[in-house]
């Protein structure tokens, strides 16, 4: 959001030939643009939790017999 405001102010200063102001705003805009973005860690944590759940289910599935799995979860072919 901040960079959009800076871009508008820079464009306005350039359009009205206020070169010193435009130069300062350009520096601020570049500093804002080069700042690293904040990573949404919750997305990656959720992704990791889902992946671990898949691996746990796969592991549980591989440790029980087909008949036991069908009895517990219902045979999809019935």
User: Which residue range forms the structural domain that includes residue 58?
Assistant: 41-73
For residues 11 and 29, state if they share a domain. Answer: yes
The per-residue pLDDT for 65 is 73
The per-residue pLDDT for 76 is 58
Do 6 and 25 contact (CB within 8 A), yes or no? yes
Task: Tell me how many domains the chain contains.
Answer: 2
Residue 78 domain-assigned? Answer: no
Q: What whole-number distance in Å separates Cα of residue 30 and Cα of residue 25?
A: 9
For residues 9 and 29, state if they share a domain. Answer: yes
The per-residue pLDDT for 38 is 72
Predicted model pTM: 0.44
The per-residue pLDDT for 23 is 93
The per-residue pLDDT for 67 is 72
Which stretches in the chain have pLDDT values below 70?
Answer: 1, 73-78
For residues 53 and 68, state if they share a domain. Answer: yes
Dump the DSSP string for the chain. -HHHHHHHHHHHHHHTT-HHHHHHHHHHHHHHHHSPPPP-HHHHHHHHHHHHHHHHHHHHHHHS-HHHHHHHH--TT-
């Amino acid at each position: 959001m901040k960079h959009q405001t800076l871009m508008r102010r820079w464009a306005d200063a350039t359009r009205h030939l206020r070169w010193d102001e435009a130069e300062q705003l350009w520096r601020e805009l570049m500093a804002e643009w080069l700042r690293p973005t904040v990573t949404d860690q919750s997305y990656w944590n959720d992704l990791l939790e889902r992946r671990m759940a898949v691996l746990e289910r796969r592991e549980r599935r591989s440790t029980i017999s087909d008949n036991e799995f069908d009895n517990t979860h219902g045979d999809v072919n019935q």
